[in-house]
Amino acid sequence: MQSHRASLQSSTFELHTHLSHALVRYLGVSSPEELDQYGFHSARDLVDIISRFITNTFSIPTPTLTPIGASVSPIIALINHSCEPNAVVVFPRATEVPSIQEPLMQVIALRNIRPDEEILTSYIDTTLPKHLRQQSLKETYNFECCCQLCAITPEVDHRESLFCPKTCGGTCPTPTEDSSLCRCMKCKTVVTNTDAVVDAVRVGQEALDKATALQFKDPKKSLQLTTNLIPILTSSGLTPSSHPLLALARLHQSLLIASLPSPPTQDSLDDAIRAATRSSTGLSSVLQYGHPVRGIALAELGKLLAVDEPAPRESSTPAEAALLYPPSGPPRLKLAYDTLLRARNELLVGFGTRNEGGQVGKDVREGIVALEKEIGVWRQGVKNVMHDLPNSVSKAKPRARADVLYVHETNADC
Ligand SMILES: C[S@@+](CC[C@H](N)C(=O)[O-])C[C@H]1O[C@@H](n2cnc3c(N)ncnc32)[C@H](O)[C@@H]1O
């Protein structure tokens, strides 16, 4: 397996040296001779193994993709990187394998791959803009990425974009200190407040770094930072997929879910749903269909929407109801159902059909079945009401309400 000991940047070399010392302490050896039994004959050998380990390991995630460990597979370590990968490395939970053998590492194709085409996975978070992806790949893997996404400079990359200031539906590239002239790619309107946007992005990045560092030590402070910064970045015009707004939104969502009271209040649940919607929308613009991160984000949103509402909101007019997000009552149930169906289809791609979309895919399937039953009960209830009503009334309002509940006549085998 590849090592970069001879060509490491000095900061990375220093980190590898620290890790080598930690390894020596862990092994409890006190002299170079004692290291011989492990096959290390010099400090250089130790740095070499650390470099090899860092270059070739994969993080082991929970079913919802929180990293909890590291693994090495000499075969999978042969796969090179692309920021637009055609495959992913996952650890699905397979029914036919005894749980004692888990986790199982698998490479899953995200799309059809030609026989002569190289299989490529991504080593890093590809929702990041190009300069941060390049920095991360250089620091950890010691190479400059020349994949299609890095080689071609698109007019607008959704990882760094603003909504058109005239709200024509187009987008503009995010201004930077070096390139402050930016205009909408559709209507060509020039963005005038570029300094304010550059400042917002800088402050947002600082807050993201701080909030990430504090997320386990001081989750309340971390949540305060994400809560304060998201509106600033949103009002400066950043699209939901832009950095650092997307990263802040994802962190915000996980902090909100972790701090949900038990049982949740309507406000805390609705806040978490809005955060999950923002994350999922952003991820869908920058990750390809079926990417496990997209599938998991949709599943989390669908599950939140499916939670029983503690105090459903009553809207006085249909117009008011249409503006309400998340919706309440039957429309919420229908949205939960549709979202879980979309999640399941994407999870089947990202975690493999044979794995039934992994553990989350199976949970989502159960959620769909439960919702189908619940929606069936509602529909029956509405039918009964319509049946009991006098003829003149039965054809009016209740039908409109019943339409909301007429979801696809699928069973959960989709
Ligand atoms: C896990 S290994 C991949 C297999 C490696 N190419 C080999 O032959 O053993 C990771 C290393 O491969 C190289 N690599 C992976 N993807 C690359 C890419 N897209 N461009 C250049 N080098 C790459 C880098 O040196 C990186 O540190």
User: Which of 245-249, 271-275, 386-390 is least confident?
Assistant: 386-390
Residues facing residue 67 across a β-bridge: 61
Say yes or no to pLDDT of 290 above 50: yes
Q: Does residue 25 belong to any structural domain of this protein?
A: yes
Task: State phi, psi for 163 to the nearest 5 degrees.
Answer: -70, 150
Residue type, 208: L
Nearest CA owner, ligand 1 atom 26: 141
Tell whether ligand 1 has an atom less than 6 A from the beta carbon of residue 253: no
Say yes or no to pLDDT of 316 above 90: no
- Beta-carbon neighbour count of residue 397 at 10 Å? 11
Q: How many domains does the chain have?
A: 1
Residue 52: which domain range? 1-61
- Of 385, 307, 316, nearest to 339 by C-alpha is 307
- Average pLDDT of the segment spanning 175-196: 90
- Average pLDDT of the segment spanning 201-220: 97
Residue with token string 């893997």: 141
Specify the pLDDT at position 102.
Answer: 66
Expressed in angstroms and rounded, the spacing between residue 198 Cα and the centre of ligand 1 is: 34
Predicted complex: ipTM over 0.90: yes
- Report residue 398's pLDDT band, with 50, 70 and 90 as the boundaries: very low
Q: How many CA atoms lie within 13 A of 372 on its CB side?
A: 15
- Average pLDDT of the segment spanning 357-383: 88
User: 228 vs 45, which has greater pLDDT?
Assistant: 228
Q: Which atom of ligand 1 is nearest to the CA of 140?
A: 27
Q: Does residue 276 belong to any structural domain of this protein?
A: no
- Ligand 1 pocket test, pick from 5, 53, 80, 124 with the greatest ligand atom count within 8 Å of Cβ, gives 80
Contact 54, 15 (CB under 8 A): no
Residues facing residue 90 across a β-bridge: 106
Specify the pLDDT at position 394.
Answer: 47
- Ligand 1 pocket test, pick from 2, 105, 126, 140 with the greatest ligand atom count within 8 Å of Cβ, gives 2
Tell whether ligand 1 has an atom less than 6 A from the beta carbon of residue 80: yes
Task: State phi, psi for 90 to the nearest 5 degrees.
Answer: -130, 170
Say yes or no to pLDDT of 389 above 80: no
Specify the pLDDT at position 64.
Answer: 87
d(Cα 262, Cα 311) in Å, to the nearest integer?
Answer: 14
Tell whether ligand 1 has an atom less than 6 A from the beta carbon of residue 2: yes
User: Which of 91-105, 154-168, 318-332 is least confident?
Assistant: 91-105
User: Which of 25-29, 76-80, 83-87, 285-289 is least confident?
Assistant: 25-29
Tell whether ligand 1 has an atom less than 6 A from the beta carbon of residue 77: yes
- Average pLDDT of the segment spanning 400-405: 39
Nearest CA owner, ligand 1 atom 7: 78
Q: Does residue 33 belong to any structural domain of this protein?
A: yes
pTM for the whole thing? 0.87
Nearest CA owner, ligand 1 atom 23: 80
Specify the pLDDT at position 397.
Answer: 45
